[in-house]
Amino acid sequence: MTYALAALALIVFVALLYLGRGYWAWVLGVALAFAAWFNAGVASPNLFWTCAAIAAVLALVFGVPALRRGVISGHLMRVVRGILPRMGDTERIALEAGTVWFDGDLFSGDPDWRKLLDFKPKPLTDKERAFLDGPVEELCRMVDDFQIAQDRDLSPAVWDYMKRQRFFGMIIPEEFGGRGFSAIAHSAVVTKLSSRSITAAVTVMVPNSLGPGELLVHYGTEEQRNHYLPRLARGEDIPCFALTEPGAGSDAASGKSKGIVCKGKWKGKEITGIRLTFNKRYITLAPVATVVGLAFRLYDPDHLLGKVEDIGITCALIPRDTPGIVIGNRHDPMGVPFQNGPVSGTDVFVPLDYVIGGQKGVGIGWRMLMESLAAGRSVSLPSLYCGASQLATRVTGAYGTVREQFNMQIGRFEGIEEALARIGGYAYFMNAARVLTCGAVDAGAKPAVLSAIVKAYLTDGMRDRLNDAFDIQAGAAICRGRRNILGRGFIGVPIAITVEGANILTRSLIVFGQGAIRCHPFVHDEMVAVAENDLPGFDRAFFGHVGFVYKNMARSFFLALTGGMLASAPVSDSTAGYFRAITRYSAAFALVTDIALATLGGALKRREKISGRMADALAWMYIGAASLKRFHDEGRPARDRAVLDWSLQLALWKVQEALRGVIENLPNRAAAAILCPLVFPLGARRRPPSDDLGARLARDLLDDKELRLHLTSDIYVPKTDEPGLGKLESALDLVVAAQHVQNKVREAARTRRLGDLPREKMADEALSQGIITKDEHARLAAAEKARDEAIQVDAFDPGTYRALK
């Protein structure tokens, strides 16, 4: 009986912990344990009843909120107040900007998969599809990226076409003359353009991203919107937004640009205005901008607006021709000639009406920027380099078949297979994350954490995969000219890594630093309660947090022990294991998050290696979830099974390694010793995708035309007579069509029927022997001619070469 009661106590305790009933786990578990102790008769009745009374008092104190608040929670709140990091207003606004979406599920330890799979991203409308198939295709046809590099700008005809077709007004509502496009349409336009020209894509992307247009739509006065938005939509005004300074890059809130509220002359009248002094750099479109969006800190020393002297960061719109503005010089970002340059001014006086939102907009500029960035960062750069990733997939899939060495298509070499698998796998999950995150934005979310993930991890992924593509194309990739397909995108890689928050900072500070506060079920509520001295709110959040930790301790251990089998999955097919695996890691991630927060406290923000690894775990869980969502939404095609398996196995291995790295490097080694058996009771057993799986994916890219086209369906493909991708596509079709003829000739050569003839003579001999027909001979000759043309590179005479830029 004693052993049965003890066993029952343990089972009840663990089961209730697993179900998230931490309080009742302790109450019932302890009660049954006392019953077993009493039944065993190993202690005197007095000792037993004394211990039981103590346990009952503790259960009462912790179980009755009113009593708990009076006895315990007040003391705890004072302790927590001392542990929490101190935050300034700008840091608090940045942390609170945007909304929580599926990232909250991943922090919960138990993602709601049915909610994710039932979510329907907004499809392209007929108008949006027509724009992609019409003006965007035409713009891609018009631009010549090599010529753009020589001219150091887009041609006047291209600038005029973009203005007339309202490329700069995609996010401006139709009522103001814009196109009113969704996030996914905006993203699709940038993705297609980026596969043709980084310069054209950036030029279109910036006015539709964080800048005057978006700020006016959400925060502008009626007068500002009516004046500027139609002009911006038609391209009559070209906007730029000046935020970055020499001393304020990633730490944009620390800028020294300032405005002083004062009296001054404006058009002959004395008015209350702002005298601005600023020095900005890296401002895209600044050299050609007609209106400058400017972020600065506003001061009111004479209290002309109110009692506050340091009003805070403010955003204003200033026409280019305002006296005192210095604008027009250009930076040269890696030789990619999109318009970018400095903007400065000293004692530039402007009316107060130039502030976005008018007087109501003073001091809230940082909130405007952070809330806009939470959504805008989801679209622009991820789309730019999803286009580059898809282009790399398209090119290397074709080049691996067209290019031959040692009498074999280079794509059949295992070293090339390895790189091809990475290129194809990344193209699949990068686009999955892009589409899902844009879908969240279109559904009304402003997913600050997820936008940071797709910006940092998709641009990093593109960097690595372009390196792979260069390895495959080798000399053809490094020789500049019109035949070069990937070079300009490769040169532009550092730009994407750097802008909108350098990736190092985004990974190590923003993704997990913001996520641990905004996405965690309890941390934000605890911080707010402490800041507002809200004892009941703190009590609810803190003890809910304690139960959450207990729950994830049990779930992490048992899900790891069973390989996730105790977790539910929204499907019953062979992908169910992937859903369960992410759930298992979600529970582990939630547990490790809480232990890191508890042991490091405010010091966690300075432990960037720890927070960076936690960001890796969160990011790869989201990438895995996005890949599963894509596979589900596209009808679970057998065609995509190898690329899905490769993507999920990589993502899950990355999550495992990130969590393992956190535990191995956690400063509190006692906490690490507890975490290790809870998270990895059987060790870290996951492995990256196998060689066989990678080979299968590479072969699918080479042999399955449908998969290659599917993975690259968002890019621009030129006509077959155009040097570069056009002729490569043409060569691929001819080589594939003649493959069976080539096989006949090679078999005849292998069996010595063709003697020792050089390769270029074998087809003629095969024809003369009747091994192939005249029609087959012609097809083979056409394929060989196209193959030879497709692998050529540009060469320049000395005079032309000296003039190249």
> Which pLDDT belongs to residue 92?
73
- Alpha carbons 718 and 137: distance in angstroms, whole number: 9
DSSP bridge pairs for 295: 315
Task: Check residue 335 and give left, alpha or beta (phi > 0: left; psi -120 to 50: alpha).
Answer: left
Name the pLDDT band for 69 (thresholds 50, 70, 90). Answer: confident
Q: Length of the chain in residues, anyone?
A: 805
Catalytic residues: 500
> Which pLDDT belongs to residue 539?
83
Share of the chain above pLDDT 70, in %: 90
> Which pLDDT belongs to residue 461?
93
Reply yes or no on whether the pLDDT at 494 is more than 70.
Answer: yes
Reply yes or no on whether the pLDDT at 73 is more than 90.
Answer: no
Q: Which of 740, 743, 761, 741 is nearest to 751 (CA)?
A: 743
Which tokens belong to 358? 């008018």
Name the pLDDT band for 55 (thresholds 50, 70, 90). Answer: low
Q: C-alpha dihedral over 687, 691, 694, 698, to 10 degrees?
A: 170
Q: Give the H/E segment covering residue 111.
A: none
Q: Other C-beta atoms within 10 Å of 752: how many?
A: 8
Q: How far is CA 641 from CA 540, 622, 707, 741, in A?
A: 45, 19, 10, 31
For the stretch 10-20, pLDDT in tens is: 444 444 444 44
Residues 194-218 have a mean pLDDT of: 92
177 by Cβ neighbours in 10 Å (0-12 / 13-18 / 19+) ranks as middle
Mean pLDDT over all residues of the chain?
89
| 41 against 681, higher pLDDT | 681
> Which pLDDT belongs to residue 325?
96
DSSP tag of 363: T
DSSP tag of 121: P
> Which pLDDT belongs to residue 603?
82
Residues 483-487 have a mean pLDDT of: 94
Name the pLDDT band for 37 (thresholds 50, 70, 90). Answer: very low
**What are the phi and psi torsion angles at 173 (to 5°)?**
-55, 150
- Alpha carbons 504 and 498: distance in angstroms, whole number: 9
Helix (H, G, I), strand (E, B) or coil at 274: strand
> Do the strands 291-299 and 258-266 form a parallel or antiparallel pair, or are they unpaired?
parallel
Computed on alpha carbons and rounded to an integer, the radius of gyration of the chain in Å comes to: 31
Contact 385, 431 (CB under 8 A): no
Reply yes or no on whether the pLDDT at 36 is more than 60.
Answer: no
Helix (H, G, I), strand (E, B) or coil at 245: strand
Which tokens belong to 180? 């009113």
Stretch among 386-395, 531-540, 675-684 having the lowest mean pLDDT: 531-540
| 152 against 39, higher pLDDT | 152
Contact 316, 274 (CB under 8 A): yes
| 315 against 252, higher pLDDT | 315
> Which pLDDT belongs to residue 8?
43
> Which pLDDT belongs to residue 88?
65
> Which pLDDT belongs to residue 391?
96
Contact 131, 189 (CB under 8 A): yes
Reply yes or no on whether the pLDDT at 466 is more than 50.
Answer: yes
> Which pLDDT belongs to residue 222?
95
Which tokens belong to 301? 């020393």
**Which amino acid is present at 710?**
H
Q: What is the pTM for the complete model shown?
A: 0.92
Contact 517, 524 (CB under 8 A): yes
Residues 79-103 have a mean pLDDT of: 76
| 552 against 30, higher pLDDT | 552
Reply yes or no on whether the pLDDT at 39 is more than 80.
Answer: no
For the stretch 345-381, pLDDT in tens is: 999 999 999 999 999 999 999 888 888 887 778 898 8
Reply yes or no on whether the pLDDT at 51 is more than 70.
Answer: no
Reply yes or no on whether the pLDDT at 526 is more than 70.
Answer: yes
Which tokens belong to 652? 């899950």
Reply yes or no on whether the pLDDT at 322 is more than 70.
Answer: yes
Where do we find the tokens 């993203």?
187
Give CA 582 to chain center in angstroms.
18
Residues 97-108 have a mean pLDDT of: 92
For the stretch 600-642, pLDDT in tens is: 887 887 899 999 999 999 999 999 999 999 999 999 999 999 9
> Which pLDDT belongs to residue 210?
74
Q: What is the DSSP string of 29-61?
A: HHHHHHHHHHHHT-S-HHHHHHHHHHHHHHHHH
For the stretch 723-781, pLDDT in tens is: 999 999 999 999 999 999 999 988 888 888 888 888 888 888 888 999 999 999 999 99
- Alpha carbons 659 and 588: distance in angstroms, whole number: 8
